[in-house]
Structure 1
């Protein structure tokens, strides 16, 4: 198939997962003829690993670049890759994500058949350990499948028309960019057979806390999820302090909330049944993780608001 594609991959200390990603790229039924890694300053030897791999495994006519982008956020890394791409079609994937062998071929065929500038691939979310399974179930749902940017294909004209990703955000840049994408193009094509898989959820309590704190902080800075932030800003302290003021009613409301968020919602989100499978302990961890995630979100929202106020940015 004559369909040259540049594959852009932002990375930062991804050496632990890079071998799986590199092997899956090599095994693609339609290989990208250019691969661009945007390295934000890895200290784990990832860039050297990539160069050694290409020296051994690189294919004729192909090119593999490792761009040095110290301190670059994910959006800035993607922008750098787009700017350096030699092809008119650009696909994205992230470290920690593994595509099926025909992922890129299916995206390209879909774009050709539908004659569209945007084709979203889908990501299947799963995890292996008790904590990561619980986190997966509470966020995306174990075994669930969703369209995501780091599984998708775009024509260069898309970036010309709507611009690149916000370069100052560590998280939420995809939401800002997708809002501009949908405003310009409306609903976009999704190729449900172009699949990638993500399994690298946080493995300990501190990682869980930091992930949600940083995400919500950056979403506040990005101006997305405003209504959710207002709900959390006032609802979180109300819900957790209510039992102090009215023990019976407060405990009932609090218990109902925890059971919904920690028991019912993970089942609703997940395609796997039961979502914990052989890790029964994950089902019990989901309950305290709800409180940790709520606290992390609330702190992140507060930090984001304070940063906006200190910068003189008006709040929505």
Structure 2
């Protein structure tokens, strides 16, 4: 590995882009790699593009495109055989690319990523929600990896045709599943971690992001083939979880409080199971309770988003990386 092209899609990320680019450049220098920084701007209205150019990045302007198309435009303009995709609001550790080099030298992996964490000043719900996705082991194989920091060869990227440009979200899962079918080994390291500075700063932002993310299940299933019904497990669970909630509300309105309480407790059971599965390995009771509440909210959001997607409505959000 002699050089690497780092592709970063962006929309209104003036707060974070200088930090993101500086950390990526430092990681490439620490690994002894020639580094090409490519920012693909989606029509930013702030100073992000100017700041990116000042930080030494080549800025491509492609307003109005979905996230997969932005990443593909950056990859098409890249000149190195090794590709990395970063979100515009993260900070990679200094040894990010050194870790990837070590994995490649051992022949462990074809696609590589580090786990994400949030800065300590993030709200509790943002920190808890990020912690739920930490790998259970030091090096966790997977059938797909998130694209917040994704490393692979151009050969592997082109073998699957890059990102699906029709997907509004879930494009990283779609890419990973196609790579998995080709036999690519994919690995996420628990440490060192990437810091996610674009954490949700208020409840409205958390709610909006989840509504946007959960609107892609049907679209993702279509791209993977209609026989892949496993992709609908979560939205169908979310819809089923509405039933005890509606029963609790109805019973409460009719004054049948024992039934309302029983139904309300039943509606929290799936969220509790999800929370226990994700927090048990961290031995943190507070995290378990936090995730219990967040999963309960998410299940209701996901059910609504899935119903809306049946009528071709999805939350609108500019692709920002």
TM-score under structure 2 normalisation?
0.77
Distance 1:272 1:27, change over 3 A: farther
Q: How far does residue 249 in structure 1 lie from its aligned partner after superposition?
A: 4.2
Distance 1:289 1:188, change over 3 A: closer
Structure-1 residue corresponding to 2:236: 230
Q: Counterpart of 1:38 in 2: which secondary structure?
A: strand
Encode CA deviations 1:150-183: one digit per residue, 9 max, x unaligned.
3232111112211111112231111111111100
Is residue 265 from structure 1 mapped to residue 244 from structure 2 by the alignment?
no
Root-mean-square deviation (CA, aligned residues, Å) is 3.2
Distance 1:43 1:53, change over 3 A: same
Q: Distance in 2 between matches of 1:264 and 1:295?
A: 14
Q: Distance in 1 between matches of 2:48 and 2:198?
A: 17
Q: How far does residue 196 in structure 1 lie from its aligned partner after superposition?
A: 2.0
Structure-2 residue corresponding to 1:201: 199
Contact map agreement 1:120 1:149 (CA 8 A) in 2: no
Distance 1:160 1:119, change over 3 A: closer
Is residue 106 from structure 1 mapped to residue 99 from structure 2 by the alignment?
yes
Distance 1:35 1:301, change over 3 A: same
Structure-2 residue corresponding to 1:254: 264
Structure-1 residue corresponding to 2:75: 82
Structure-1 residue corresponding to 2:19: 20
Contact map agreement 2:271 2:293 (CA 8 A) in 1: no
Contact map agreement 1:13 1:42 (CA 8 A) in 2: yes
Distance 1:255 1:187, change over 3 A: same
Structure-2 residue corresponding to 1:50: 52
Q: How far does residue 37 in structure 1 lie from its aligned partner after superposition?
A: 0.8
Q: How far does residue 125 in structure 1 lie from its aligned partner after superposition?
A: 2.2
Distance 1:32 1:75, change over 3 A: farther
Q: Distance in 1 between matches of 2:285 and 2:201?
A: 17
Q: How far does residue 293 in structure 1 lie from its aligned partner after superposition?
A: 2.9
Q: Counterpart of 1:34 in 2: which secondary structure?
A: strand
Q: Distance in 2 between matches of 1:187 and 1:104?
A: 17
Encode CA deviations 1:18-37: one digit per residue, 9 max, x unaligned.
23212212322125521111
- For structure 1, which segment, 23-32 or 250-259, has the greater mean C-alpha deviation from structure 2 after superposition? 250-259
Which runs of 5 or more residues in structure 2 are unaligned?
225-230, 314-321
Contact map agreement 2:146 2:173 (CA 8 A) in 1: no
Distance 1:188 1:237, change over 3 A: closer
Distance 1:287 1:272, change over 3 A: closer
Contact map agreement 1:7 1:93 (CA 8 A) in 2: yes
Contact map agreement 2:7 2:39 (CA 8 A) in 1: yes
Is residue 137 from structure 1 mapped to residue 128 from structure 2 by the alignment?
yes
Q: How far does residue 206 in structure 1 lie from its aligned partner after superposition?
A: 1.5
Q: Counterpart of 2:201 in 1: which secondary structure?
A: coil
Q: Distance in 2 between matches of 1:95 and 1:199?
A: 9
Q: Counterpart of 1:106 in 2: which secondary structure?
A: helix
Contact map agreement 1:176 1:222 (CA 8 A) in 2: yes
Q: How far does residue 268 in structure 1 lie from its aligned partner after superposition?
A: 4.0
Q: Distance in 2 between matches of 1:238 and 1:32?
A: 56
Q: Distance in 1 between matches of 2:62 and 2:276?
A: 37
Contact map agreement 2:40 2:59 (CA 8 A) in 1: yes
Q: Distance in 1 between matches of 2:16 and 2:276?
A: 26
